[in-house]
Amino acid sequence: MSTPEKVTVAEVEGGHWYDVHGNLVQTVPSADGKKQVKCTLKHAKVYDLARGCTSIIGSCDKPALTRWKMEQVALAACTLLRIEGETPESYQLRLLDEANTIGRTSAAEGNRIHAQIQRHYQLAEVEPAYREHVDGAVRELEELGCDEWRVEVPCVSRSGYGTMADLVGYRNGRPVFLVDTKTKDGSLAELCAMRLYDEHYMQLAATIEALGLDPRTMGTAILLVSRTHPGSCRLVPVDLEQIQRGWSLFRPLLAYTHAKDSHKPTWAAKD
C-alpha cells in the first residue's frame, strides 16, 4: 500500500517507520484530521509501514551501551548532591533525568555532525563550527577512491523493514562502498582503541540487503567521528564474514519484531 498523500514524509533522520517506497514517515494525520501526530505502531498498521532497522536492532542487548548509560548515572551521582529531606525516589529520578540529559546532549551533537557531513556531499555550506569534523571525515573517505558519494539513501527491504544508508560510494556510476557513520567522544588514539560490535555488522548487513546490493562485491566500513576532538576520525573496514554474521543475527531479530508487533507490511515477502 502506498503512503497516503496526507502522511508527512520526513527529510531528516530520526523516524522509525518507512513506506513501501523507502520514505521515512514521522507523522500522520490525527483521528480528526486537524493536526499531525507522531507515527506509532497503531498508525503503521493502518498505513502499511515498516519499522526502521535501527529500532529492530535496538531490541537486543548492547552491553557497551548499557555500561555507558550506567556510567552516566554514576557521573550524575558525583555531581548532584542529595537535597536535605529529599526522598530516595525523588533523588533517583533527578539522577536519571541528569543522566538522560547527558545522553540527549551527546546524541544531538552527533546528529549535528552527521548533518554537516551530509551537507558537504550535497554541496551545501558547512557550518564553521563543524568544518574540522567534516574535513576529517572527508579525508578518511577519500582513501576509498570513490568518485561520488550519495548520502542518506532511503531503502526498504522486501523482508519487511526500512533504513537509511548514510554514505554510498560510487565509481564510474556503480555502487562499490557502504559506510555507516558513528560519532563518539574521544581522541584519535581513543578512536583507534575502540572495537566494533555485532550491531555495527547488523546495521551494514541490513542496509546492503535493503539496497539490493551484493555484499560480495561491496566494500563496507564504519566511520568513527569524534565529537570532542574536531578532525579526529577513523575508518574501520568490515569484511564479508562480519557482514554475513550481521545478517544471520539480524534476521531472527526481524522475525521477533514482526511477531512482537503483530505487524508485517503486506508488501513484504511471505515467510
- Shared domain for 26 and 121, answered yes or no, is no
- Shared domain for 23 and 143, answered yes or no, is no
- Report yes or no on 268 lying in a domain: no
- Report yes or no on 200 lying in a domain: yes
Handedness of CA 56, 244, 21, 265 (dihedral sign): negative
- What 4-13 contacts at long range (C-beta under 8 Å, 24+ apart), as own/partner pairs, is 4/47, 6/33, 7/47, 8/36, 12/115, 13/111, 13/114, 13/152, 13/164
pTM across the whole model: 0.86
Range of the domain at 21: 8-51
CATH code, 251: 3.90.320
- Report yes or no on 267 lying in a domain: no
- Predicted confidence pLDDT, tens digits, the chain (271 residues): 434 443 433 333 334 899 999 999 999 998 888 899 999 999 999 999 999 999 999 888 777 778 888 888 888 888 888 898 989 899 899 999 888 888 888 889 999 999 999 999 999 999 999 999 999 999 999 999 999 999 999 999 999 999 999 999 999 999 999 999 999 999 999 999 999 999 999 999 999 999 999 999 999 999 999 999 999 999 999 999 999 999 999 999 999 999 999 999 999 998 7
- Shared domain for 78 and 180, answered yes or no, is yes
- Report yes or no on 58 lying in a domain: no
What pLDDT is stored for residue 9 in this prediction?
A: 37
- Shared domain for 103 and 198, answered yes or no, is yes
Q: In 10 A of CB 270, how many CB atoms?
A: 5
- Report yes or no on 56 lying in a domain: no
**Structural domains of the chain, count:** 2
Q: Which residues contact 190 (CB under 8 A, 6 or more apart)?
A: 184, 226
